[in-house]
Amino acid sequence: MKKKVLVIEDEKLSRNNLVKILRAEAFEPISVESGAIGIQVAIEQEPDIIICDIMMPDMDGYEVLRFLRQEPSTTLIPFIFLTAKTERTDMRQGMNLGADDYLTKPFEIDELLEAISTRFKRQDVLEKYVQTLLLQLQQSPDINNALKVNPTWNIEKLYVDLSQAKQQLKDSNRQLKLTQLEKACLLQILSGHSPSIIATQLNRDPNGLAVDLSRGLYRYIEALTGGKLKNWRDIPLLLSQKGYLSNI
């Protein structure tokens, strides 16, 4: 399956050139001319990577990135900035917002392709690691003991219902599933581990993971249970009140 690349660029010539390059390299490019449209398309299409210009008239690239990093469905999508700026402070601003890379115009085709390839390789490594971790968690003594002590825990139904809550929050007709990362984090929380411990196992920044969980998994649980989460410790209680867990 072709990787989907969203290009957000207000300059028509630059946008069309990027599309030609990406199509020639067997990607599936989607191009838009403004930040506002880019946000809408990113949420609807969930591209594999986003390439975005910084200087745009209606909404600059920083605003686009800030919004997408706050949206659960797009918060982990790799994001590359295109910019004519070379100031270190400008680069730091983008990195602080969660940008993955910068390309300074004009750039060589090889630079663009290398930046994209590097992002995909890192994503693949993370996904494989999380899949391995999830398998280990499902087979771990902590989880198995919890399931033996609480045989009425309905984890699979919980996954399905949380996906439906995720779908409702996203206002989409497409069938959605919890990501492997969300499942791994949820299993860890139910086995008594804190987000800081989970972050260490995932080699993630604890504050960044906590923000991702609060924007994503926590919101799905709130939508499913109708409750309000003050912190991760409330998750087992809310789920037990809805009959997913027992003896909590």
Lowest mean pLDDT among 60-64, 109-113, 168-172, 184-188: 168-172
Q: Which of 43-47, 87-91, 129-133, 148-152 has the lowest mean pLDDT?
A: 148-152
Q: Residue 16 in contact with residue 43, Cβ under 8 Å?
A: no
Two tokens, residue 23: 């199509």
- Rounded to whole angstroms, the maximal C-alpha distance in the chain is 63
d(CA 150, CA 145): 8
* Pick among 3.90.1150.10, 3.30.365.10, 3.40.50.720, 3.40.50.2300: CATH of 4-124: 3.40.50.2300
| Distance separating alpha carbons of residues 196 and 144, to the nearest angstrom | 22
CB 190 within 8 A of CB 245: yes
In degrees, rounded to 5, the angle at the alpha carbon of residue 74 between the alpha carbons of residues 197 and 21 is 125
Residue ranges of domains in the chain:
4-124, 140-241
What is the token pair recorded at 121?
A: 């390789």
Summarize pLDDT for 27-57 with one digit per residue, the tens.
999 999 999 999 999 988 889 999 999 989 8
Name the 3-class secondary structure at 8: strand
Token couple for 243: 């009959």
DSSP letter at 72?
T
Q: Is the full-model pTM beyond 0.85?
A: no
Asked if 42 contacts 35 with a C-beta cutoff of 8 angstroms, the reply is no
**pLDDT at residue 248, rounded to an integer:** 46
DSSP character at residue 247: -
Q: What is residue 21's predicted lDDT score, i.e. its pLDDT?
A: 94
Q: Compute the distance between CA of residue 10 and CA of residue 98 in angstroms, rounded to an integer.
A: 22
